[in-house]
Amino acid sequence: MSELAIQTVDLRKVYRGRIEALRGVSLRVERGCCFGLLGPNGAGKSTLVKTLLSIVRPTSGTATLLGHDIRSAKARVGVGYLPEGHRFPRYLTARGVCEYFGRLAGLNGKALVREVGEKLETVGLADWADKKIAKFSKGMTQRVGVAQALLGEPKLIFLDEPTDGVDPVGRAGLHFVMRQATERGSTVFINSHLLSELEGLCDQVAIVHRGELLQQGSVSDITTAVGGGAFIIRVRTGNLSEGLWERLSSRGAKREADDFFAMPLGGEDDISPLIDELRAAAVPIYAVQPKRVRLEEAFVEIIREKGGTGVVQR
Amino acid sequence: MNAWLAIVGDTWRQSRQQVVFFIMLGLLALIAIVSIVVVKPFPQTDGSVRVGFVTQDEPSRALEGMWLDAYAMSLVGEDRAFELFDEAEAAKFDEDLRAAYDKATAVADVPLARRAVESFLYNVAGVIYLVSMLLFLAACSGYLPNMLEAGALDVVLAKPIDRFSIYFAKILGGVAFYAAAILITYVILFTGIGLRTGVWAGRVFYVMPLQIFAAALLYTIVAALGVQTRNTTLCLIVGFFFYVIGDSLLEGLRIAQAAGVLEAWPVLDRIGRTIPWLLPNFSLLKQNAISSVLAIPLMRWEPIATATAWMAIALGFGSWRFWRTDY
């Protein structure tokens, strides 16, 4: 059995009109992890997922899901999928949607009935199971989509913008469901624009841009790489005298909101001397915290280095 | 098999969402009920029963005679009726027709009540055929384009089923829906007429295979077009014209051909001879189907062969396009 849930080797997709959506993507996703795929709009994220699921045919390169070549229907056994912008048949109830896709996944009989009931309960739609989805809000429809993707305890689950349109409470519930899935041993592959979401959920992330894989690693690998390994702390204080601020700013301090300033240090050993310096100037200290480079900042930085964020900066 | 049934079932649910589905069921039920109501039995003094219409005071000789006409014409060759160019040919035809009538009368030992009922059902089946075919066309034109809408297909394609199976299950689902609709209609008709006249004309069910075959042909063509264009309206329009051309135009051409009208124009004549092998003649398919009600030896294989070839091409092209396309 392959240790990898997903492996792609030099995967390329050129659409008609010579649009190169994927330019030789080589990716390895280990089993049992929560994997996040990041990229700006049009980066090729959805094309990559669709190619892996044979919704789109690759132009060249190879790929496997759970050790099976994606060209075989066998590769999609034990795989759940929630597409972005899905449109389930509006004439079906939430239960009907799940039963339909459950049957397509090979479930039937009592196992199907039990699974559908369980999954609808998991996403908080047990009371709405027999209502037509035409009456559902976007967030509720999204939860139906997640429920159908979880049917049959899939070993690999693709979720394309899973919390799109879901309110914060529902989002927290879905995060819990995704964590449960990975705890059970499933591999969860998430495409999302909400980088804070991925930062909290994913063990591994990859960044794609213009069809190319720019980076892959853990969240801390990527943020550390972008931060250049610098140690920065944030300090919230009372008023700083001009003289003191000049000394601090000459060592790289920068003001931030809410009376914070950020300051690069050589390491943790330099924190106490800085506090001593502030106390010596009778400056009240309210908070001292390490400043981490957020995934979003790292992402923007990486994309900017590669030719822009799509936003013109003047 | 489970996945196949799921797609077939979904097509059935999809059908139930369409107004045209209810119009079709309603019209078919109406035709069946009116047909049951307008016939009645006429008990005879010798204990036998004959059949006629409620508006008449005596059994319908027209219905009884129609049965024998159809039988005799099938023996003599229906197309010969158009080939009477000179007196000698007309005389020969009359002679053959008389012989056919004699033979039909001798061979076909069928009670008058059954002849009348079968003739009546032959005509009713013709109406059911036409109405159901046009309304099914309206219903099935949207099956493939709706399935291919963005966001509707992705999850289906991501399941462990190959695309050919999805396509064929979708075709099968549409045809099953049509078959169920006409089966219900014929069961109502068979039961109602049987209870009303005492004649249980089971041959009315013989219409179904060819009727379903013709509907399946139309659906496979519309489905292939649906995969290519993803446009319901275009599928409906092209499907309608294909049916009209295959029904009226080809039949008109066939009659003109048989009557020798086209002989003055060699090119048209050649086209007239070739086209029946190029396009399926829905009118002849209908004749083949509804003639099954009458116990007559009438079956034209030419339109069936052409229709089978078209169906194979449409299925092949449609499934190939579905297999090849990125969604």
* pLDDT, tens only, A236-288: 999 999 999 999 999 999 998 888 999 888 888 889 999 999 999 999 999 99
Residues 6+ apart with CB under 8 A from A58: A11, A12, A13, A22, A51, A70
**Which of B150, B152, B156 is facing A104, going by the closest CB pair?**
B156
Distance from CA of B314 to the nearest CA of A (A): 23
**Nearest neighbour of B154 by CB, restricted to A74, A83, A92:** A83
Q: Helix B163-197 crosses helix B19-38 at what angle (to 10 degrees)? A: 20
State residue B238's pLDDT score: 94
Residues of B in contact with A77 (CB under 8 A): 160
pLDDT value at residue B19? 83
Cα atoms in the 13 Å half-sphere on the side-chain side of B92:
9
Paired residues of B145 in beta bridges: none
Cβ–Cβ gap A79/B158 under 8 Å: yes
Q: Is the pLDDT of residue B13 over 90?
A: no
Q: How far is A76 from chain B (nearest CA, A)?
A: 5
Question: What mean pLDDT do residues B254-264 have?
Answer: 77
Contact across the interface for A104 and B162, Cβ inside 8 Å: no
Shortest alpha-carbon distance between residue A53 and chain B (Å): 5
User: How far is the C-alpha of B162 from the C-alpha of B122, rounded, in Å?
Assistant: 42
Chain A neighbors of B326, CB-CB under 8 A: 15, 50, 55-57
For residues B61 and B266, which has the higher predicted lDDT (pLDDT)?
B61
* Nearest CA distance, A91 vs chain B (angstrom): 7
Judged by CB atoms closer than 8 Å, whether chains meet at B327 and A56 is answered as: yes
CA nearest neighbour of B292 among B186, B208, B179, B171: B208
Query: What is the token pair recorded at A238?
Result: 């009372």
Is a pLDDT exceeding 50 seen at residue A314? no
**pLDDT value at residue A313:** 40
Mind telling me how many Å the CA of A61 is from chain B's nearest CA?
Answer: 17
Determine, for residues B155 and A83 on separate chains, whether the beta-carbon distance falls below 8 Å: yes
Chain A contact residues (CB < 8 Å to B)? 15, 50, 53-57, 73-77, 79, 81-83, 85-89, 91-92, 96, 100-101, 103-108, 148, 158
Backbone φ and ψ for A262, nearest 5 degrees, come out as: -105, 140
Mean local confidence (pLDDT), B306-311: 95
Give tens-digit pLDDT for B175-220: 998 999 999 999 999 999 999 999 999 999 999 999 999 999 999 9
Average pLDDT of every residue of chain B: 87
Helix, strand and coil in chain B, % to nearest 5:
80, 5, 20
pLDDT of residue A308: 58
Are B155 and A81 in contact (CB < 8 Å)? yes
Distance (Å, rounded) from C-alpha B139 to C-alpha B149? 17
pLDDT over 70 at A93, yes or no:
yes
Are the Cβ atoms of A86 and B154 closer than 8 angstroms? yes
Residue B309 near residue B230 (C-beta atoms within 8 A): no
- The answer to whether the CB atoms of A104 and B159 lie below 8 A apart is yes
Q: H/E element holding A125?
A: none
Which residue would you say has higher pLDDT here, A28 or B2? A28
Q: What residue in B sits closest to A52 (Cα-Cα)?
A: B158
Query: Does the distance separating the beta carbons of B2 and A88 come in below 8 Å?
Result: no
pLDDT (mean) for B82-106: 76
Minimal Cβ distance to B160: which of A56, A76, A96: A76
Determine which of B149, B154, B164 to mutate to test the interface with A (most A C-beta atoms within 10 Å): B154
Neighbours of B3 (CB within 10 A): 21
Closest listed residue to residue B153, CA positions, set B170, B138, B139, B140: B170
Element (H, E) at A217: strand A212-217
pLDDT at A300: 85
Count CA within 13 A, CB hemisphere, residue B207: 30
In the prediction, which pLDDT does A296 show?
A: 83
CB-CB neighbors (< 8 A) of B6 in chain A: 100, 103-104
**A15, A86, A104 member nearest B6 (Cβ):** A104
* pLDDT over threshold 80, residue A291: no
Average pLDDT over residues A193-222: 88
Question: Hunting for tokens 């009989």 — which residue is that?
Answer: A109
pLDDT per position as a tens digit, A36-59: 999 888 889 999 999 999 999 999
| Of A90-104, A135-149, A165-179, the least confident | A165-179
Q: Å from A144 to nearest chain B CA?
A: 13
Place of tokens 């099968």: B172
**Model confidence at A312, in pLDDT bands (50, 70, 90)?**
very low
- Segment B232-236 shows an average pLDDT of 94
- pLDDT for B209 equals 95
In this complex, the residue of A55, A96, A103 whose CB is nearest that of residue B158 is A55
Task: Give the pLDDT of residue B85.
Answer: 60
- Note whether A33 and A204 are within 8 A (CB): yes
